[in-house]
Amino acid sequence: MSEERPRREQQHPGTAPETAVSSAESMSAAEMEKPPEPTWKKTLKFILKFGVSAGILTYIVCTRDIKWQDFKLVNPWCIVAAFFCVYAQLSLTAIRWFTLLRTVGVKCSFMEAFSLQMQGMFFSQFLPGGSVGGDVVKAGILATRTPPGGKFNVVFSIFVDRLCGLGALLIALLGTCLICRDTIAKFPEGQRNGLLVMCAVCGALLCVVVFVFFSDLLYRVKFFKFFLDIADRITKDTFKRAADAVALYRRSWKLLLGWIVATTFVFFPVLGLPVWLMANGFQGAPHRDFLPCLMISNVSQTIAAIPGSFGGTGTRDIAGAEMMTAMGFTDTESGVIPILVTMVTLLVALSCSVFFVFDRGKRVGKR
């Protein structure tokens, strides 16, 4: 014990991240071999989350008296364009993740990263774990294909990719709400106050995301290092390994910042196009500006990130429906458009199953 502690203190985060991360990777394989969750628990979660999604969709349809023929009021070409917008955003996300893998020296072809990203999309929509469920599947696939020396880096890249996406989503949400503040001021009091509370929570979460990218610096403060060392003894250096990996990524801060900016100003606007296309493709509806539609999309995506429904289905729709109602959309529009956007998203996810069926199972490794 007397020799182990000085050696640990010499490798504090930020000084030699590659050495610390690689030494921790040998431990990650054992941690990934956790006993599977009992089948009855998986089934119960599936039923509960499916019930939540189905219940919310039923509520939207019934309270707005939506009929099947109402879906025919939207120009079919707008639906086709929306499909390709969702696919384009998903492809851009695959490029982002691919560059993050390469940043930490993971040897992986773009097509393999693209395939895994598409598979993650499929499972995120059709597993009860939501977007997190898709990430777990991607991590599991990577763990089985990666040599022992690279498991930690490839799995942690998924976490960093999610951090970039979450940070960009929060910035996009707060930005569009700020730009559309005059529109929000006309909302009914309940919706307006709810959105303001949501913005406050998102602002706090954004601070947390920024903090995570600098969390390794806590080891340089004696007060925090004392408690972190205790936590590392209990968790087998889990906090230290995560901090070392964060330090490794932060060395490429220009790349991370570039992807956050690109995701904020390109990825999420592309993902907001389906709402705008369908709103303007609705028969007899007035012209709708893009920024309010983008705000609806950003709010919907933020709500969908909460793992309380089946892949975000239902929660995404009710958020969009309530926002549209507050903006003066008719009951038919506010019911049909969010459900159509979800149907397009599910169709894209279903098409991604092709990548799972024809996956060749290549191995991923380090350079």
- Phi first, then psi: give them for residue 146, nearest 5 degrees: -95, 135
Q: How many domains does the chain have?
A: 1
Q: How confident is the model at residue 184 (pLDDT cuts 50, 70, 90)?
A: very high
Q: What is the pLDDT of residues 196-251, one digit of tens each?
A: 999 999 999 999 999 988 888 888 888 888 888 898 888 887 788 788 888 888 88
Q: What is the pLDDT of residues 216-229, one digit of tens each?
A: 888 888 888 888 88
Between 96 and 133, the more confident residue is: 96
Between 151 and 68, the more confident residue is: 68
In whole numbers, what is the pLDDT of the chain averaged over residues? 83
What is the percent of the chain where pLDDT is above 70? Answer: 83
User: Is residue 135 included in any domain, yes or no?
Assistant: yes
Q: How confident is the model at residue 8 (pLDDT cuts 50, 70, 90)?
A: very low
Query: Residue 194: exposed, middle, or buried by beta-carbon count in 10 A (0-12, 13-18, 19+)?
Result: middle
pLDDT at 221: 86
User: Is residue 26 included in any domain, yes or no?
Assistant: no
User: Is residue 77 included in any domain, yes or no?
Assistant: yes
User: Is residue 110 included in any domain, yes or no?
Assistant: yes
DSSP string for 255-274: HHHHHHHHIIIIIHHHHHHH
**Mean of pLDDT values over 163-192:** 94
pLDDT above 80 (res 40): no
What is the domain range of residue 121?
40-366
pLDDT above 70 (res 18): no
**Mean of pLDDT values over 18-23:** 40
pLDDT at 93: 94
Structure tokens that stand for 23 in this block? 């030494």
End-to-end, the C-alpha distance of the chain in Å comes to 35
Q: Mark 30-62 as b/e (b = at least 16 C-beta within 10 Å).
A: eeeeeeeeeeeeeeebeeebbebbeebbeebbe
User: Is residue 351 included in any domain, yes or no?
Assistant: yes
User: Is residue 19 included in any domain, yes or no?
Assistant: no
Residue 83: strand, helix, or coil? helix
Residues 6+ apart with CB under 8 A from 53: 309, 310, 311, 313, 314, 315
User: Is residue 165 included in any domain, yes or no?
Assistant: yes
CB 112 within 8 A of CB 122: no
Closest CA to 248 of 2, 23, 13, 9: 13
Cα–Cα dist 270/284, whole Å: 25
**Mean of pLDDT values over 185-195:** 93
User: Is residue 242 included in any domain, yes or no?
Assistant: yes
pLDDT above 70 (res 319): yes
pTM: 0.83
**Mean of pLDDT values over 39-53:** 78
Q: What is the pLDDT of residues 100-115, one digit of tens each?
A: 888 877 777 888 889 9
Q: How confident is the model at residue 36 (pLDDT cuts 50, 70, 90)?
A: low
